[in-house]
Amino acid sequence: MVSIIKLLLESWGKIPRTLYVHKLIKCDDYTMRNIDKLVEIGVLDNNEDIYLYSFIHPDSNRVVSFTGSKMLKPRLNFKLWFAPVTPLRVMIYKGASESNNNITAFSAEKVASKRFSTTSYLFSGEETIFKKVADIPIDVISTTVPIPVGPIFGLYENYDIDCDENKQKLRTINIKRVKAMAPIPQMLMKTNYVFVYSCKTT
């Protein structure tokens, strides 16, 4: 049964994309408070080396962006945070991609650029500036599988990424999480952790 659900909810084969890696170069006080919170809950190593990892989802045109504190290289095992979410209020930015040169959201055009500004990073509302440090050609497949456990169920989300030739010498990247779901408001749960992903590279 699980294999049937998996077949229905995963990409139909790996899709070519580009993984863009940017480094944070400027932010304001409230954004830094969000970053410090991620350090406090053990997602980031420090508040100085902050990276953004972005690619277009294999099943849609929306950008998937994570934040972490590692420059990607082989043999890493670390945590990521879903970049449009503030850990201080557990709120997620759900706006559309920007138009008319706004700096509101992440977009494919922004994350492909050498330098870009956004106000949606960690849902801070403040202008945050990133500088591109790498772009890696990839093939990615996405899988989402519901896991029932009595009245509560989980959602297994997985991105399997094969890397084409790149300067970082990466071969594969795996990003995944299991998100607990329940019939009570998320704000009453320990939801800081439902936006944490594990990342492993080879």
Q: What is the pLDDT of residue 62?
A: 86
Which of these, 78, 48, 76, lies nearest to 66 by C-alpha position?
Answer: 78
Q: What is the pLDDT of residue 1?
A: 45
Q: What is the pLDDT of residue 147?
A: 75
In the predicted model, residues of the chain with pLDDT beneath 70 are: 1-12, 91, 93-105, 149-153, 180-193
Phi, psi of 188, deg, nearest 5? -90, -5
Enumerate the β-bridge partners of residue 16: 139
**Helix, strand, coil in percent for the chain, rounding step 5:** 15, 45, 40
Pairing relationship of beta strands 77-82 and 63-68 according to DSSP bridges: antiparallel
Q: What is the pLDDT of residue 134?
A: 97
Q: What is the pLDDT of residue 94?
A: 62
* pTM, rounded to two decimals: 0.85
DSSP H helices in 41-191: 108-111
The beta strand positions in the chain, using DSSP E, are 15-26, 51-56, 63-68, 77-82, 85-86, 91-92, 115-118, 128-149, 152-163, 172-181, 196-201
CB 84 within 8 A of CB 91: no
Q: What is the pLDDT of residue 89?
A: 84
C-alpha distances in Å from residue 196, one per residue of 67, 74, 103, 170:
10, 21, 25, 22
